[in-house]
A and B are shown apart, each in its own frame.
Chain A
Amino acid sequence: MGRIIVITSGKGGVGKTTCTANLGTALAKIGRSVALMDADFGLRNLDLLLGLENRVVYTALEVLAGQCRLEQALVRDKRQRDLVLLPAAQNRNKDSVTPDQMKQLAYALTKKYDYVLIDCPAGIEMGFQNAIAAADEAIIVTTPEISAVRDADRVIGLLEANRVKNVRLIINRIRPAMVQANDMMSVSDVQEILSVPLLGIIPDDEKVIVSTNRGEPLVLSEEASLSKLALQNIVQRLEGKEVELLDLNAPYDTLLARLRRFFKSK
């Protein structure tokens, strides 16, 4: 039986879909079989981020309506054979599915895949209720902004009420220079409010925008980057391995501080 993990945030635009695409790809890369479920009916874009838009033939709705089999709707990733996507319908809205139907789909997927990642839409309405219905675990994505943290807090409360107990946090788009200058909430500031275990921190990175537009998840790029490393670390932690958090401040150490450390170590 695979694990069902919902990736949610409350607020929009904090990087839920980007995280889902990258975590799914990274998990597939280390040999796990992964099914990604887009729960964002009516505003789907997980297929875009994966560069699979032109391969979508059937969607989850057709499966539920019995117009096709589940296997037919699954879109296999062109680079990672272990990664499949169950697309959402674009021409409907969130009310066109029920929580029970989402459960049915997710449970069917767990039989074949190690991980079922559900990309949750923004908000706390029907789409959110659908997305969390089947989940045993949740990953909260937030940015170090007060509005995102407030919404994340609300969502954690709702998850608790719906008996999703295993909730972990990803803090996305951290700008270490701003944190150092006290212009941005730090990781500990966010954690102090949300008080849920931290799954990872991801620095703000322009490469993410480039990879999004290209439809190629960042974790597949050849180039080494801090954000890619951060995502890979998160996958390791999902797998139950202990990996230390990235030290995002490292590049922002002053020369003086480095020299001092250098001489101390001698």
Chain B
Amino acid sequence: MQSNRASEASLSETNLPETSLTGISLPEGEPSEVGLSEAELVQVELAQVELAQVELAEISISEPERSHLKQATPQQATSQSSAALLGIQSGRLPGVQQAGLSPALLASPAERAAQGGHIFFKAEKGVLYLYLPSNQTAVEWSVIWEQLQHRLEASQRIWPPQTPVYLVANDRLLDQRQLDQLAVALSNAHLILRRVLTSRRQTAIAAVTSGYSVDQQLPTLGLPAIASPAASRVAALTSPELVLAEPLYLETTLRSGGEVRHPGSVVVVGDTNPGSAIIADGDILVWGRLRGVAHAGAQGDRDRQIMALQMEPTQLRIADQVARAPAKPPNQVYPEVAYTTPEGIQIMRAADFAKQYSKQSGK
């Protein structure tokens, strides 16, 4: 028990940087520039294209493939030809660390989701596990319920009808009304709530009263199919890789205020509107318009990419790098890929990126 508590404490401690990140990602909050002091803006690329005399704010995007930009100012056009890849105006996100450094990263995807305050689904052996955010995150029930509705709606086609659901409530306190709400939401999506796993006595009683099987877990221990934090840390020592969850596949329009967080890659079939946010530990692929905020490699993995059929983001973030979109949208649209370079985030036409990428891996 003692060691468990200690590990829990270290988990929440190392999560602190992540909370400061959440502050930035709030769509209605302070403009994200707050997070980026002017000094932190990457200046390297400016020197590279000899645009030093132009004001930083006016450079906005500079990416050779976007032809309208070349037309914008002849000065830029000439200097751009020398630089093959130019970043959007980039900056650094404080608080995101390089992968593999923080013990929090070595927690399992479900644990990261629970600590990050969002729901998480995991399918295993014909059973769907639904993890609820930990009580320590102080996420309100109404928020969880809204998340759940959107997720069920967007994932309807994936899970076969009548799939049993095991609710992993952990230390979250649920009353009977909430359990019933949950069961109704699940049954609307043709899923059946079967079992409740909880470490709280009240939740267990409520679940029994509603007629579900109950597993009472020890606090922090006993997530099914997931090793305890201590064990996963040991595993992580041998392989310091970030464990990603299965990719999340969503068929939906992500509207303003909608936020998807996932400890793996995210695929959205549909548009993401301004005011929405996708925060993924893996890659982000939007089969539609990307107009909100997208943060790939949110745990610090710079090798992650953001792909979209139509790239018009409010802001792109990969690991600790930030880039904001051009003030003027491009008049031509084609699928594009955003990736990181030492100079900042770059965008490239998807067709060209495929070539470039295969060249790099050939090296």
| Candidate in B188, B257, B258, B274 with the most chain A CB atoms within 10 angstroms | B257
Q: Is residue B343 contacting chain A, with contact meaning CB distance below 8 A?
A: no
Task: Check: A160 CB closer than 8 A to any chain B CB.
Answer: yes
Flag if B150 contacts A161 (CB, 8 Å).
yes
Interchain CB contact under 8 A, B255 and A154: yes
- Bound-state CA distance A157–B291 (Å) is 16
- A158 and B143 CA atoms in complex are apart in Å by 11
Contact residues of B between 273 and 290, Cβ < 8 Å to A: 273-275
B149 within 8 A of A: yes
Contacts of B153 in A (CB 8 A): 160-161
B188, A157: Cβ atoms closer than 8 Å:
no
Number of contacting residues on B, CB 8 A? 16
Q: Distance in Å from the Cβ of B81 to the closest Cβ of chain A?
A: 32
Give residues 59-98 of A contacting B (CB, 8 Å): none
B273 touches A161 (CB 8 A): no
Does A27 interact with chain B (Cβ within 8 Å)?
A: no
Question: Given the interface contacts A157-B257, A157-B258, does A150 sit within 8 Å of B274 by beta carbon?
Answer: yes
List residues of B (41-75) whose CB comes within 8 Å of A's CBs.
none
User: B255 touching A153 by the CB < 8 A rule?
Assistant: yes
Which residues of chain B from 186 to 204 have any CB-CB distance to chain A below 8 Å in the complex? 188
Chain A residues contacting B271 (CB-CB under 8 Å) are 195
Interface 1/0s, chain B 242-280, versus A by CB < 8 A? 000000000001011110000000000001011100000
- Asked whether B38 is an interface residue with its Cβ less than 8 Å from the other chain, the reply is no
Complex: A261 Cα to B291 Cα, angstroms: 40
Whether A154 pairs with B256 at a CB distance below 8 angstroms is yes
Taking the complex as formed, is B175 at the interface, i.e. its CB lies under 8 A from any CB of chain A?
A: no
Tell me if B146 is interfacial: C-beta within 8 Å of chain A: yes
A164 to chain B, nearest CB (A): 11
Q: Which of B145-166 contact A (CB under 8 A)?
A: 145-146, 149-150, 153
- Quick one: CB contact mask for B172-189 with A, threshold 8 Å, 1 for yes? 000000000000000010
Taking CB atoms and an 8 Å cut-off, the chain A residues in 150-193 that contact chain B are 150-151, 153-154, 156-158, 160-163, 193
Chain A residues whose C-beta falls within 8 Å of the C-beta of B256 in the assembled complex: 150-151, 153-154, 157
Contacts of B145 in A (CB 8 A): 161
CB-based contact B273/A158 at 8 Å: no
1/0 contact string of A209-225 vs chain B (CB within 8 Å)? 00000000000000000
Total contacts A to B, CB within 8 angstroms?
Answer: 39
Whole-angstrom distance from the CB of A192 to the nearest CB of chain B?
Answer: 9
Give bound CA distance, A160 to B291, whole Å.
20
Q: B152: nearest residue on chain A (CB-CB)?
A: A161
Q: Are B255 and A156 in contact (CB under 8 A)?
A: yes
Asked if B149 and A163 sit within 8 Å, CB to CB, the answer is yes
Among B145, B273, B274, chain A packs the most CB atoms within 10 A around the CB of B273
The reply to whether B273 and A153 form a contact with Cβ atoms under 8 Å apart is yes
A162 x B273 contact (CB < 8 A): no
Tell me the bound Cα distance from A162 to B185 in angstroms. Answer: 10
Closest B residue to A165 by beta carbon equals B153
In the bound assembly, the distance between CA atoms of A162 and B146 in angstroms comes to 8
A30 to B153, CA, bound (A): 38
Contact partners of A151 in chain B: CB under 8 A: 256
Q: How far is the CB of A176 from chain B (nearest CB, A)?
A: 24
How far does the Cβ of B225 sit from chain A's closest Cβ, in whole Å?
29
Give the residues in chain B near A156, CB-CB below 8 Å. 255
B185 (CB) vs chain A CBs: closest residue: A163
Instruction: Output the nearest chain B residue to A193 by Cβ-Cβ distance.
Output: B273
A-chain residues with CB within 8 Å of residue B253 when the two chains form the complex: 195
Instruction: Report the separation of the CA atoms of residues A161 and B188 in the bound assembly, to the nearest whole angstrom.
Output: 12
Q: How far is the CA of A161 from the CA of B273 in the complex (A)?
A: 16
Which of chain B's residues have a CB closer than 8 A to the CB of A195? 253, 271
Residues of B within 8 A of A163 (CB): 149, 188
Chain A residues closer than 8 Å to B257, beta-carbon distance: 153-154, 157-158
| B residues less than 8 Å from A193 (CB atoms) | 273-274, 291
Of all chain A residues, the one with the shortest Cβ separation from B154 is A160
When distances are taken between beta carbons in the complex, the residues of chain B under 8 Å from A153 are 255-257, 273-275
Q: Which residues of B contact A162 (CB under 8 A)?
A: 149
- The CA of A163 and the CA of B255, in the complex, are separated in Å by 15
Chain A contacts for B291, CB-based, 8 A: 193
Residues of B near A154 (CB, < 8 A) are 255-257, 275
Residues of A within 8 A of B (CB): 150-151, 153-154, 156-158, 160-163, 193, 195
Given contacts A153-B275, A157-B258, A160-B153, 4 further A-B pairs with CB under 8 A are A153-B255, A158-B257, A161-B145, A193-B291
* CB-defined A-B contacts under 8 Å, sample of 19: A150-B256, A153-B256, A153-B257, A153-B275, A154-B257, A154-B275, A157-B255, A157-B257, A157-B258, A160-B149, A160-B150, A160-B153, A160-B255, A161-B146, A161-B150, A161-B153, A163-B188, A193-B274, A195-B271
10 smallest beta-carbon distances between A and B, as pairs: A157-B255, A153-B256, A161-B149, A154-B256, A154-B257, A161-B146, A153-B255, A153-B273, A150-B256, A157-B258
